[in-house]
Amino acid sequence: DAVYLGWKEYNARASAANFTLEETAQLLPYARSKQVRVYVALNSLLESSDLSRILDLLQALSDLDPDGIILQDPAIAYLARKFFPELKLHASTLMTIHNSAGANQLKRMGFERVVLARELTLAEIERIAANTSIQLEIFVHGALCFSYSGLCLASSFRGGRSGLEGRCVQPCRLRFRQGHKEGFFLSCNDLCALPLLPRIKGMNLSALKIEGRLKSASYIGRVVRAYRLVLD
């Protein structure tokens, strides 16, 4: 029903191929001809020196009119609301929303949708959905971070590159040794919610999200078809 993509700048998958502004301008009409929505991720953290460039990108997004922009940094939300109020704001999972109070606060700030933190249980998601009117989206398939969503500093500590700026070196995927034990102690198994879809369908959620920005097209196609088949 929708795709999400990142530009060459300021997205949380800096190592992916990503899209240029010109490519996005070509992609949007094609997606709309197929009745598919497009969300653009500007979901890395900013430094003060980035603000003028972000204004340029927000102006471009305002002209392109995507179906939503996915944010982590409140500065982008502030600039979008102040200068480009027509843009639809989606809160990235990196904003770490774990409860209905956080979701309701983002609604008051002008957000249209919240992508909930990935470490929530099904029961917690149900409670949030019952106590907010903002649109909710959850990840149902893909890699999981060992840390809390959007709060990991391990990459900066281990590799000198910030995961919050889209440059995670994935230290949790490494083999570690403790005493006589050795293994991938911090590496989580991937999430697969296919068996959970009957319960998830009753949760009043607006969207189910499949990770794809560092995956092959054939992988994404197969996974999406599997979820589409089970949902229908």
Do 13 and 213 meet the contact criterion of CB atoms below 8 Å apart?
A: yes
Backbone angles phi, psi at 181, to 5 degrees: -100, 145
- At a CB cut-off of 8 Å and minimum separation 6, what does 206 contact? 113, 135, 136, 137
- Given this model, what pLDDT does residue 3 score? 94
From first CA to last CA, the distance across the chain in angstroms is: 13
Retrieve residue 176's tokens.
Answer: 């570690």
pLDDT band at residue 157 using 50, 70 and 90 as cut-offs: confident
- Given this model, what pLDDT does residue 112 score? 97
CA–CA gap between residue 128 and residue 116 (Å, rounded): 9
- Given this model, what pLDDT does residue 150 score? 67
- Given this model, what pLDDT does residue 139 score? 95
Retrieve residue 32's tokens.
Answer: 């709309």
pLDDT in tens, 170-205: 888 889 999 999 999 888 889 999 999 999 999 999
Q: In which region does residue 190 sit, left (phi positive, over 0), alpha (psi from -120 to 50) or beta (all else)?
A: beta
Mean confidence (pLDDT) of the chain? 91
pLDDT band at residue 161 using 50, 70 and 90 as cut-offs: confident
- Given this model, what pLDDT does residue 215 score? 85
- Given this model, what pLDDT does residue 144 score? 83
Residue 34 has pLDDT above 70, yes or no: yes
> pTM of the prediction?
0.89
pLDDT in tens, 64-107: 999 999 999 999 999 999 999 999 999 999 999 999 999 999 99
Backbone angles phi, psi at 4, to 5 degrees: -125, 145
- Given this model, what pLDDT does residue 84 score? 97
Place of tokens 């959970």: 196
Question: What is the DSSP annotation of 20-59?
Answer: -HHHHHHHHHHHHHTT-EEEEEE-S---GGGHHHHHHHHH
Q: Cα–chain-centroid distance for residue 92?
A: 5
Residue 162 has pLDDT above 80, yes or no: no
